[in-house]
Homo-oligomer: A and B are copies of this chain.
Amino acid sequence: MTPTLFEIRFGVRDYECDAQGIVNNANYLHYLEITRHAFCEARGTSFRAMHEAGIDPVVRKIEIEYLNSLTMGDTVLASLDVRREGARYLFIQEIRRASDGAIAARATVTVVVLEDGRLSRGDAVAQMLGID
């Protein structure tokens, strides 16, 4: 089920494609990251602002399935949902090809939150992002 909480749209950059002519799998993690960061900005904060407040979200785990490849000229729709599980944030993310809606990748990204360098329950982030 496509996440619906937040979505951005952007174009594949030609240099992101490798010699197979498709977006290299590492670049999908960049796509996932810019989606999460854009979500933070849409909620009125940023990784820099959080860092300056002593709050550092840290990626602990990523599970990503690659289903269809993306290539030069493609437009990408990247969406996410987020939910808390104890001290962890789970970002449910999806990357689709805009032209036909095909799912390029599905991912679950587990994030924990350091406060002043120590693992926390992450309540500060929930408050900043307006998450229950």
In the bound complex, residues from chain B placing their C-beta under 8 Å from that of A66 are 58-62
Interface size class of A (residues with CB under 8 A): 20 to 34
Q: Enumerate chain B residues within 8 angstroms of A102, measured Cβ to Cβ.
A: none
Contact between chains at B62 and A64 (CB < 8 Å): yes
Docked complex: A10-27 residues within 8 A CB-CB of B = 13-15, 17-21, 24-27
- CB of B24 within 8 A of CB of A15, answer yes
Specify which chain B residues have a CB less than 8 angstroms from the CB of A27 in the assembled complex.
26
A60 contact set on B, CB distance < 8 A? 65-66
In the complex, A94 has a CB within 8 A of chain B: no
When the two chains form their complex, are residues B18 and A62 in contact, meaning their CB atoms are under 8 A apart?
no
- Copies of this protein in the complex: 4
A34 to B11, CA, bound (A): 10
Task: Contact check, A14 vs B33: say whether CB atoms are below 8 A apart.
Answer: yes
Q: Which of B19, B25, B63, B73 is close to A29, meaning CB atoms less than 8 Å apart?
A: B25
Residues from chain B with a CB closer than 8 A to the CB of A24 are 15
Can you list 22 residue pairs at the A/B interface with Cβ under 8 Å?
A13-B34, A13-B37, A14-B19, A14-B34, A15-B24, A15-B26, A17-B18, A18-B18, A18-B19, A20-B51, A20-B56, A25-B29, A25-B33, A25-B62, A26-B29, A46-B72, A46-B73, A61-B64, A61-B65, A62-B64, A62-B66, A63-B63
